[in-house]
């Protein structure tokens, strides 16, 4: 489980995340949506332990910056950053050794095949296209079979085959009890997958719904998104991100 309590992040005077609290249960896919500048990437980077913040984040009960937590979560950043001088295969070997992944060669083969990178294994990180870098980033995050996965705009730049595979991978992660938090603008693409929707606006969670609540209320994810972001929603401020 991912548990976020009172997460607050300021960039100097800019309050980018304002007291966020939510959970992503085991076997649940939570989608984090919101307009540009709402604070989604900042939240994901804080949860991944890449930024300093106030509040607490735990991964399966472990503080997010602990070694125990880092063993348990995978992170797919918005902008992939492969190592220029390692090949695709060497990236996976590096991850396998760092995380002590058993039987990693077979698991790597499956991931590479699913994301159509099997013929790119000898290419260097610096020689990959943006989409290939993104696919490699997904393979690296999923190879250790994490218990929680953070995906920051993972669909941008992927071809239709990879989008379909990633969607199926999210469903498989959920089926094996993983907590998945995915930030995206492509609401249509995650329509089949999400269990919990978190709509961010002005650095806050402006609305949180489970799929069941939405289905009961007859509301779609898009309707909720526009009702919040076009000013007809709940508890909103007027600026896109407010200063402290
Ligand atoms: N390194 C930084 N230094 C200062 N301000 C930053 C930094 N990174 C982000 N911000 C600001 O924090 C706010 C939230 O940005 P963030 O990238 O988290 O939004 P987002 O919801 O992910 O947006 P997008 O959908 O455009 O990716 C914005 O006002 C942004 O300008």
Q: Per residue in 74-122, pLDDT tens?
A: 999 999 999 999 999 999 999 999 999 999 999 999 999 999 999 999 9
Tell me if 146 CB under 6 Å of ligand 1: no
Task: Tell whether the model's pLDDT for residue 175 goes beyond 60.
Answer: yes
For residue 48, the model assigns a pLDDT of 96
Closest by Cα among 220, 243, 234 to 31: 220
For residue 237, the model assigns a pLDDT of 41
- Taking the C-alpha atoms of residue 168 and residue 159, their distance in angstroms, rounded to an integer, is 14
Tell me if 205 CB under 6 Å of ligand 1: no
When the pLDDT of each residue in the chain is averaged and rounded to a whole number, the result is 93
Q: Judge whether 143 and 106 are in contact, CB under 8 Å.
A: no
Q: Which CATH number fits domain 1-78+145-228: 3.30.1600.10, 3.40.1360.10, 3.40.50.150, 3.40.50.300?
A: 3.40.50.300
Task: Tell whether the model's pLDDT for residue 209 goes beyond 50.
Answer: yes
Task: Tell whether the model's pLDDT for residue 214 goes beyond 70.
Answer: yes
Centroid of ligand 1 to alpha carbon of 42 (angstroms): 6
Task: Tell whether the model's pLDDT for residue 66 goes beyond 60.
Answer: yes
- The separation between CA 190 and the C-alpha centre of its own chain, rounded to angstroms, equals 12
| Residue with the two structure tokens 């603008």 | 185
For residue 234, the SS3 value is coil
Centroid of ligand 1 to alpha carbon of 81 (angstroms): 18
pLDDT band at 230 (very low <50, low <70, confident <90, very high): confident
Domain residue limits, the chain: 1-78+145-228
Task: Tell whether the model's pLDDT for residue 139 goes beyond 50.
Answer: yes
pLDDT band at 143 (very low <50, low <70, confident <90, very high): very high
Average pLDDT over residues 167-182: 97
Centroid of ligand 1 to alpha carbon of 39 (angstroms): 6
Question: Who contacts 197 (Cβ-Cβ below 8 Å, separation ≥6)?
Answer: 30, 31, 33, 207, 208, 209, 210, 211, 214, 221, 224
Average pLDDT over residues 121-140: 97
Task: Tell whether the model's pLDDT for residue 242 goes beyond 60.
Answer: no
For residue 232, the model assigns a pLDDT of 56
For residue 240, the model assigns a pLDDT of 36
- pTM, entire model: 0.93
Task: Tell whether the model's pLDDT for residue 168 goes beyond 50.
Answer: yes
């Amino acid at each position: 489980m991912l548990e976020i309590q009172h997460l607050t992040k300021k960039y100097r005077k800019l309050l980018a995340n304002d007291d966020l609290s939510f959970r992503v249960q085991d076997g649940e896919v939570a989608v984090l949506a919101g307009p540009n500048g709402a604070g989604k990437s900042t939240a994901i980077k804080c949860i991944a332990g890449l930024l300093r913040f106030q509040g607490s984040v735990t991964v399966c009960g472990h503080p997010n910056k602990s070694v125990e937590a880092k063993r348990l979560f995978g992170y797919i950043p918005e902008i992939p950053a492969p190592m220029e001088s390692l090949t695709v295969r060497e990236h996976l070997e590096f991850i396998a050794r760092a995380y002590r992944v058993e039987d990693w060669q077979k698991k790597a083969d499956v991931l590479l095949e699913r994301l159509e990178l099997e013929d790119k294994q000898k290419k260097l990180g610096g020689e990959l296209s943006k989409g290939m870098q993104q696919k490699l980033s997904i393979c690296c995050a999923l190879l250790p079979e994490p218990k929680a996965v953070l995906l920051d705009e993972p669909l941008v730049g992927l071809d239709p085959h990879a989008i379909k595979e990633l969607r199926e991978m999210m469903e498989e992660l959920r089926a094996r009890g993983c907590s998945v938090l995915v930030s995206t603008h492509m609401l249509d693409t995650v329509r089949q997958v999400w269990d919990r929707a978190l709509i961010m606006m002005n650095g806050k969670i402006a609305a949180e719904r489970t799929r069941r609540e939405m289905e009961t209320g007859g509301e779609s994810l898009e309707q909720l998104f526009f009702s919040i972001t076009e000013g007809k929603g709940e508890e909103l401020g007027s600026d896109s991100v407010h200063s402290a």
